[in-house]
Structure 1
Amino acid sequence: MAILSGPGLLYTLRLHWKKSTAGAIVFVAGGYYGIDRFRAHLIRRSYCQRAKVYSEELLSHPTDNNRRMMVFLNPAVDRGNPRKLFQKNVAPILHMAGIDVTVVESEYEGHLRTLMGYMDKGLSGIVIAGGDGSIQEAVTGLLRRTDESSIASVPIGIVPMGKSNSLAGKLFRSEASDVRRLCDAAFSIVAGQTQPLDVMSLKSENKSQPAVFSVGLLQWGLFRDTDRTLDKFWWTGRFRGFSAYLWRTIKGPWPHQRHISVTVPETQAQQSADQPGAASTVAADLRQGVDTAALQVCTPLASDDKLDQITMKIWPANVNKNSFIGYGWRKHVLRQPTEDLPTAFELTGTEFQLNLPEDEVSWFSIDGEMYEAQSVKITLLPKKLKIFVPER
């Protein structure tokens, strides 16, 4: 008796095309997920094997194998589960290298500044697992200590886990995957290669207020105020940056002009008198005061400047709307390196006195952290700290 064959596979797929399509999508997505997980596993294993080589070398020199480090982890950073990221991608590499690691989690905003005051200066290194704000808090806490000159010799490791990782972006490969960047950061700590880091000090006229320190940039005015509104446009998805910049040109006065003045030390102006666009050519105008929409002050690392100088950019009061919207599109949607809008003044030096209006409340963004804006003396502290960097 002949056995009747049923309908073929193609016929079944065509008959149930909706289920077949859904199943194919799930199958392909699961395949890509599995491949990514396997690649991440290979990356972690490779770095752990390299760290083990360092551990064996240290064990061959018993007097040099006592490496103690303290990790300060910010569990509130806006990036998945930071504890899990650290335990899965960073901790195994440090342990394989034979480093004695103690992990301390911050519990509230400003906690890292307090923790830095109790840190043992006999450590082999400090590791900051967080974003730009966490680094800024830690640096400020370190340099406010009475023994800051000795504690500054303890190298700092950066593990990028925050929403904004500008400093880490200068140190590690920006095109690498998240797993590889975390492993790169961990292995730079294991390798122990360091380089000096310039720090910017901001001291107000109120002597009762302690100085604030920055390793990146200070922002004030139009760009800073607009960037702080991005979360309000979450419903626009990846276009929230563009939406915020567009809405800023529609709502309220355009632009919100403010009057500021900048004082440049005479010695600094004289030293740069022969340079085109130098501080001496604009010092008189800035001392009298100018109207501006925004300003930005960068450390040498943040501005990619090879010289040990601060860069101050002051934008004109009449920023073009179309250029402003285009800048927001390139910065937040395309995420491409973008040329800044034309500035009215651009200064370089090691010290500035910035005077702001006292009749209205405004805010600084210092490495992503909010501080109430006021007149401040800005000073560059060259090569003040040491940070772990990738092997060259």
Structure 2
Amino acid sequence: MFRTLRNHWKKSLFAFCALTYGTKWSYDRYQANQIRQFYCQQASLLGSQNFPPMTRLTRIAVLLNGKANNGKAKSIYDKTIFPLLHLIGLDVRVYRLDAITDSNGLNELLTNKIEPNELSALMIIGGDGTLSELAPYFLQSNTLQNLPICIVPIGEYVSFARSLFPLTNKKKIHDDIVLLCESVFALFNGKIVQKPLLKITMSNNNEKPM
């Protein structure tokens, strides 16, 4: 056996590396599924509780950018986020932002289609680009401004989300399954973080803004 390994050391090294990677991948996947199972149990317990009718979140709109994280955002949502929302018992309406081709369509979605006056909360799934695209509409709508907004950071660039979730040690936030699950439960922990929206306009004259 030693002679075989010595004569084919390149193949042996490749097989060892492949086995090591496969073992780590399987373990990481097992750990992720264990975390999902735990939070699904917590969501089921939360959904079985009796809430006063005026305090329970009943209907939320999920604004999903399916192109985020190289098109993997929808898969992550289906595997990790949706089961929790379903077990909690929320009325979830999902709207795909990547299916909208112009600003008129986005304006129609946010002002009419999602029926903002009927919502208890908004959930935004995407990165910084998604938030930047939606921010102007929040500035223009008092209804959207006053809704609790749950951020689920799935994207390549999520600097805003990192200001909300500074404790994760994951290079990519969406790889932190615990954080994604906790972002859903943040709707129920009673803590709302106030984050101001900054509107910048260009001056028509040469005066420098103070």
Both proteins in one fold, TM over 0.5: yes
State which of 82, 85, 89 in structure 2 corresponds to 1:98: 89
Residue 51 of structure 2 corresponds to 61
CA shift digits 1:89-123 (9 cap, x unpaired) = 11111112111111110123645444212232221
Relative to the length of structure 1, the TM-score reads 0.46
Residue 13 of structure 1 corresponds to 5
Looking at structure 1, the residues matched to 18 and 6 of structure 2 have their Cα atoms a distance apart, in angstroms, of: 18
CA shift digits 1:173-227 (9 cap, x unpaired) = 3314432332222222344532222121234568xxxxxxxxxxxxxxxxxxxxx
The question of whether the paired residues in 2 share the 8 Å contact of 1:113 and 1:137 is answered with no
Q: Structure 1 residues 171, 113: closer, same or farther in 2, change over 3 A? A: farther
Q: Structure 1 residues 144, 123: closer, same or farther in 2, change over 3 A? A: same
Q: Secondary structure at the match of 2:75?
A: helix
CA shift digits 1:55-94 (9 cap, x unpaired) = 122xx23625451101011112244511101111111111
The correspondence of residues 43-192 of structure 1 with structure 2, limited to 5 A, is 43-57=35-49, 60-61=50-51, 63=53, 64-65=55-56, 67-106=58-97, 107=99, 108=101, 110=103, 112-118=106-112, 119-120=114-115, 121-145=117-141, 148=142, 150-172=143-165, 173-176=167-170, 177-192=175-190
Q: Return 5+ residue gaps in structure 2 as ranges.
A: none
Amino acid at match of 1:19: K
Q: Structure 1 residues 143, 152: closer, same or farther in 2, change over 3 A? A: same
State which of 22, 26, 48 in structure 2 corresponds to 1:30: 22
Q: Secondary structure at the match of 1:194?
A: coil
Looking at structure 2, the residues matched to 17 and 200 of structure 1 have their Cα atoms a distance apart, in angstroms, of: 60
Looking at structure 1, the residues matched to 134 and 32 of structure 2 have their Cα atoms a distance apart, in angstroms, of: 30
Relative to the length of structure 2, the TM-score reads 0.82
Structure that is richer in strand per residue: 1
Q: How many residues of Structure 1 are paired with residues of Structure 2 in the alignment?
A: 198
Q: Secondary structure at the match of 1:198?
A: coil
Larger radius of gyration between Structure 1 and Structure 2? 1
Looking at structure 2, the residues matched to 95 and 195 of structure 1 have their Cα atoms a distance apart, in angstroms, of: 25
Looking at structure 2, the residues matched to 184 and 112 of structure 1 have their Cα atoms a distance apart, in angstroms, of: 28
Identity %: 30
Looking at structure 1, the residues matched to 31 and 132 of structure 2 have their Cα atoms a distance apart, in angstroms, of: 33
The question of whether the paired residues in 2 share the 8 Å contact of 1:113 and 1:142 is answered with no
Looking at structure 2, the residues matched to 183 and 40 of structure 1 have their Cα atoms a distance apart, in angstroms, of: 11
Q: Structure 1 residues 16, 203: closer, same or farther in 2, change over 3 A? A: closer
Structure that is richer in helix per residue: 2
Q: Secondary structure at the match of 2:199?
A: strand
Residue 218 of structure 1 corresponds to none
Looking at structure 2, the residues matched to 109 and 127 of structure 1 have their Cα atoms a distance apart, in angstroms, of: 21
